[in-house]
Structure 1
Amino acid sequence: MSQNLSITHTGAVARITLTQPEIRNAFSDEVIAELTAAFTEVGGRPDVRAVVLAAEGPAFCAGANLNWMRRMADYTRDENVADAGKLAEMLRVIYECPKPTIARVQGDVYAGGMGLVAACDMAVAVDTAGFCLSEVKLGLIPATISPYVIRAMGPRAAHRYFLTAERFGAAEALRTGFVHEVVSADQLDAKVDELLKALTSASPHAVRACKKLVLDVAEREINAGLIAATVQG
């Protein structure tokens, strides 16, 4: 059994939980590989109707594990590009998971952790959660997570928070659209369950088709071709 994450099933819902609270659920190349495999597995299971991404402890995800970052300091450029490619593939697998995904954000989210939340279809956060795109403070840029974070919060907010690395609260995350709901800690599971009930009570084929529709349409310019495609269904 992995020490990095767990996968549990309750009815038609799969829960993938980060289980390293002692390091604020920071991820490494090993965690990236396990998350990629986990979302691939649950995405292909016909008995799974929805997926929750959760975490143990006071933080949701602090981004990259410092020990992993120290190892990467000695990597060649090709090795760094390969690692970035694995992170990008993990985010793509989460984003394109055929099942609807919900990020259950019970605590702070930093750096690469922002990509995990943004790659999910929906996000529910506690009102005490803090968010930060901290990369520029380390002399880095959030390049690999940027396609997902910018889609989630919009380019205007991304300009500010990518460039300043300011920490912002759950209310601001809600205002920008980065999360969909903000609730007190004692209401977090109830709100997630409310969304799960809506997802699992709908037609699974229609839900899957709607998710694909959103992914397809969101990335296309509104023109005659797109209008014709949507008319045809």
Structure 2
Amino acid sequence: MSRSAPWLVRRNPSVLLALVLALSVLTLLLTEPLPLVALYGALAVGACVGARLHPWRFARAQVPFLLFGTGLVVVNALARPGEPLWPDAPVRVTAEGLSIGVVLALRALVIGVGAVAFATSAEPRRLVVSLVQHARLSPRIAYALLAGHRLLGELPRQWRTITRAHAVRLPVSERRRGRASREPRLGVRALARCAFTLLVVSIRSSERTAFALESRGLGPGPRTVWRPVALGWPDGALVAGVALLAWLALLAPRAAGALPA
């Protein structure tokens, strides 16, 4: 791994995966909004700096988690019993449901930061090698996951190729043109045929991949790896830093409760 790569990218992917899982468990222990907000801010800064993520790119990656969190707030605020905040409002919003929904939404956002940092930092090949090396994962499972990941990565390109091929073969009378583009748009039946073609191509590709793995001797037993992934003191420093943040987040509610009113 080049030294010019971002700091998080040079870390051991198994350590990053373990930290994301531990972070998900940690959020279950936090029931106050302020520690979650502080933890989210610290992790967001660390992810942007450590992975060299542009703030706009990071913000776009957080949109799905923000939408999911908004849904949690709305559902809990409207569905949970409790004291209504606005008795005269046409919609019953309870204080208990709103507070619980906010906490659940913040948990989702904190987990989202870890997921974004992991997805942008863990290279698939290094992750598989690290899981085999350090997590003692079976090579059969690890390389099957890597093959599946690469197959999924090829699906968008294959979909574009298939849809364009179907668009060329369609009669002019069956094409629907978009307003902003001259490229013909396929109808529902044509898209269904494209989806079936993509399914067949994916099954055949996975079958060829399975035969290739078997022919290369991928079976049970010890194996060597090419370009092993290092596990060193920077990974320990990362674990210590995240553990310190977690300890402070858990300690903050107790410290706030001990302060005089």
Q: Give the TM interval when normalised to the shorter protein.
A: under 0.3
Give the number of the structure whose alpha-carbon radius of gyration is greater: 2
Q: Which has the higher contact order (CA 8 A, sep 6+)?
A: 2
Of Structure 1 and Structure 2, the greater helix share is in 2
TM-score normalized with structure 1 length: 0.27
TM-score normalized with structure 2 length: 0.24
